[in-house]
């Protein structure tokens, strides 16, 4: 008889279920919906009012992702667990965190509201002007279903101020939009960019 192997858990789940309920924390964000993350991933919330790119947390350097524009003053860092200690992540933001217990059935997939799409597109245009030859953008083609027209679309690989990518999913709870980030992919992007 074969020995049963215990599964090794490789990815940190964004939404964990306990009897159909989610314990989440709402993290304030500027120019995008607030982020919703599992409360169990939060290792610490530290007061910090300087904008930084790495944070020394318990003698470990943690990459920082900003949820507010450069001209806004942050007031806290939220350190999140990652798949490995290297892939821990800190979110820098301003405002109060809110904890919420929500039913899984109350979380609905949604499209990013138009006002945030407009901000993201203007951020893409701003970022393109500041690209300076780093080739952050790539051209991709798509066909319009109705007319079979080819359109060239510019896709941004990874920028903090643009939530129009595979790294972010919009959900609605009680008619309020939130962003569910793919924290694992974001942390891997940040670590890759740093190395």
Helix, strand, coil shares of the chain, percent, nearest 5, are 15, 35, 45
**pLDDT band at residue 154, thresholds of 50, 70 and 90?**
very low
Q: Which of 19-23, 24-28, 94-98, 160-164 has the lowest mean pLDDT?
A: 160-164
> What is this structure's pTM?
0.73
Distance CA 54, CA 56 (A): 7
Looking at residue 190, what is its pLDDT? 82
pLDDT at residue 135 greater than cutoff 80: no
Domain limits, the chain: 21-112+165-194
Q: Which residues does 92 contact at the CB level (< 8 Å), separation at least 6? A: 48, 51, 52, 64, 65, 66, 67, 68, 74, 76, 77
Q: Which helix (H) or strand (E) holds 90?
A: strand 89-93
Q: List, for residues 56-74, the tens digit of each pLDDT value.
A: 999 999 999 999 988 899 9
């Amino acid at each position: 008889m074969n020995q049963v192997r215990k599964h090794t858990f490789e990815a940190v789940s964004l939404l964990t279920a306990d009897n159909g309920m989610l314990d989440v924390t709402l993290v304030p964000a500027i120019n995008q919906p607030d982020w919703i993350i599992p409360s169990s991933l939060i290792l610490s919330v530290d007061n910090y009012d300087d904008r930084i790119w790495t944070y020394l947390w318990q003698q470990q350097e943690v990459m920082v992702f900003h949820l507010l524009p450069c001209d806004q003053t942050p007031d806290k860092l939220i350190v999140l667990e990652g798949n490995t200690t290297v892939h821990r992540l800190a979110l820098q933001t301003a405002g109060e965190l809110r904890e919420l217990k929500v039913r899984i059935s109350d979380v609905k997939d949604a499209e990013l509201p138009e006002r945030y799409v407009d901000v993201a597109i203007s951020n893409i245009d701003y970022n393109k002007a500041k690209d300076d030859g780093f080739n952050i953008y790539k051209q991709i083609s798509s066909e319009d279903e109705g007319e079979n027209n080819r359109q060239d679309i510019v896709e941004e690989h990874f920028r903090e101020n643009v939530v129009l990518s595979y790294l972010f999913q919009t959900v609605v709870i009680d008619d309020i939009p939130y962003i569910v980030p793919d924290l694992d992919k974001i942390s891997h992007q940040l670590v890759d960019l740093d190395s």
